[in-house]
Chain A
Amino acid sequence: MKNFKEKLSGRVFLTLALFSILALAVITIFILVQGAPVIGKHGFAFIAGTSWSPGNGEFGILPMIIGSVAVTLGAAVIGVPIGICCAVFMAEFAPSLMRTIFRPAIQLLAGIPSVVYGFWGLLFVVPFISNHLGGLGLSILAGSVILSLMMLPTIISISEVSIIVLPSTYKDGALALGMTHWQTIRSVQLPAAKSGIVAAVILGLGRAVGETMAVIMVLGNATAIPSSVLEPVRTLTTNIGIEMGYAEGEHRQALFATGIILFVIIMILNISAQYITRNKSKSLKIK
């Protein structure tokens, strides 16, 4: 009887664990089945085509790919330096009291719903850009600002951990050589934590590429290829979000195909982050 219970509980856990894998499989298959025909039909023109006009049967998502890349890179330019500096501050300079306030505050930043970010961006960032830099304000820049805030928690917490887990003997050794605290951070600790920090940035970028709600509200969503950061764009995610409600037939399939491209991009980012951190744990073992 006892044996039976043991076996049964094992099975129950296995079944429930399989559900999460199953969900991934179902979603992947569904997207592939729905989206693959459009990619098959239009081929390379789907990715390289510059015109998105579902009414005329034109499905080129290059403007959206450019939009996603531009907004994400913009977010990285703003968010990565702030995030890494914040992580260094938390790991090396902050007094413990300040750390106990900062850490939950940064976690809270991750907990704010994305629609609230978007709303705040629309009411504050967009008018600010419009008033000070010109244009409508609905722009790549507005999206980048919002996304840079949204990627901060990921970058800060993972970078901070990768600095904290370094053996303290690195820091002691560098200080004992007569290096200053800043020299120690710059020349010993940051290089040693490099792989963790790169992984943090990549995961932050993945977060930015996948974000939809916040950017729908501030990007302006035009399907043309932008010529400056003050112009509106549409990203891969917002393309799906905006049109899914009314799309039918091939148009609908084209949105799923957009999803496939997005899926591939995020997969590549996540796998490379994992690969980089795995190499790190290998190199730490040599010690």
Chain B
Amino acid sequence: MPKLSPRASKRNSVNVSTKKAKITTKNLNLYYGGSHALKDITMEIPECAITAIIGPSGCGKSSLLRQFNRMNDLIPIARVEGEAYLGETSIYGKSTDVVELRKKIGMVFQKPNVFPMSVYDNIVIGPKHHGIRSKSALNDIVERTLNQVAMWDELKDLLHKPGQELTAGQRQRLCIARTLAGDPEVVLMDESCSALDPESTMKVEDLMIQLAQKYTILIVTHNMEQAVRVSDMSAFLMIDLDDDDSARKVGKLVEYAPTYDMFTNPTDKRTEDYITGRYG
């Protein structure tokens, strides 16, 4: 089992259960064609905290993350049932504007997907399309977000350099800055460190902890040490037999608890097997 770092223990001494729920799901189901990818996911994700989604490969971690900003809409065979809320607003409601929703729920991807344009243009592309025209307002956004990701000093003289020429670690932090430029309430991070070297990973993790003061953060990670290092809450997903139909396999939320509790005292045998390395 991963050792708890002092930082994690300290972070977890903050009682997450007193925090308001930012995202709530009730019996959320996801189907890809005939296969039942996620079954009856019910969870409350606390505001201004880091929630980690962990589990073996292919268990639906990323699918669950993509439920929250409706990126699964892009997959024609994907179908969703059940309820999910951002604060009071229904995510899958009939009158929900997906574009507005995605402004509030930003996403950072597995591989840094910097657009083929300058550092500056990468950051302002979102705000520009959301109607911010004033040059000075856009300049302020670039400075603020690059400061938030601790790269202003590195990049302030290179703002017009092509973003794709930065190092992998810088590119991923640029992607985080680009997401923050839209002033989201929630930031989803889909294995955002898996393509990075250990040093860049550490910088991004520090960044997540910083950002959690202001933003609600959800991360998907296959790295349990990372979940322990940064997260307040952990959700363990796995593919298991369907309780209602033992011939089928479905993606389930096995355990959802404060990270400290889950890693010191898991309540489910399957969670224990996974985090002690006996499974997956």
Contact = CB atoms under 8 A, between A and B. Distances in A.
Nearest to A166: B116
Interface in B122-174: 125-126, 129-130, 162, 164-165
A286 interface: yes
Given A187-B129, A191-B117, A173 B109 contact: yes
B110 to A, nearest CB: 9
B245 interface: no
Main secondary structure of the interface of B (DSSP, over half): helix
Contacts of B115: 170, 173-174, 188, 192
A191 B175 CA distance: 19
A187 B121 CA distance: 10
Contacts of B101: 178
A176 B71 contact: yes
A170 B113 contact: yes
Contacts of A169: 109, 111, 113
B165 A286 contact: yes
B251 interface: no
B196 interface: no
B106 A173 contact: no
Nearest to A178: B103
A172 B165 contact: no
Contact of A178 (B100, B117, B164, B175): B100
B74 interface: yes
B69 interface: yes
B23 to A, nearest CB: 16
Contacts of B164: 283, 286-287
Interface in A133-187: 167, 169-170, 172-180, 183, 187
Report which residue of B117, B126, B165 has the largest number of chain A beta carbons within 10 angstroms of its beta carbon. B126
Contact of B130 (A173, A175, A178): A178
B117 to A, nearest CB: 7
Contacts of B103: 177-178
Range, interface on chain A: 20 to 34
A284 to B, nearest CB: 8
A169 B130 CA distance: 21
Interface in B93-122: 99-104, 106-107, 109, 111, 113, 115-117
Given A169-B111, A286-B164, A286-B165, A179 B117 contact: no
A117 B237 CA distance: 62
Interface of B: 69, 71, 74, 99-104, 106-107, 109, 111, 113, 115-117, 125-126, 129-130, 162, 164-165, 175, 178-179, 182
Given A178-B129, A191-B117, 13 more contacts: A169-B109, A169-B113, A170-B115, A173-B113, A174-B125, A175-B71, A176-B69, A176-B102, A177-B103, A177-B182, A178-B104, A180-B129, A286-B164
Interface of A: 167, 169-170, 172-180, 183, 187-188, 191-192, 283, 286-287
20 contacts: A167-B113, A170-B115, A173-B115, A176-B106, A176-B109, A177-B106, A177-B126, A177-B178, A178-B102, A178-B103, A178-B126, A178-B130, A179-B126, A180-B129, A188-B115, A188-B125, A191-B116, A192-B116, A286-B162, A287-B164
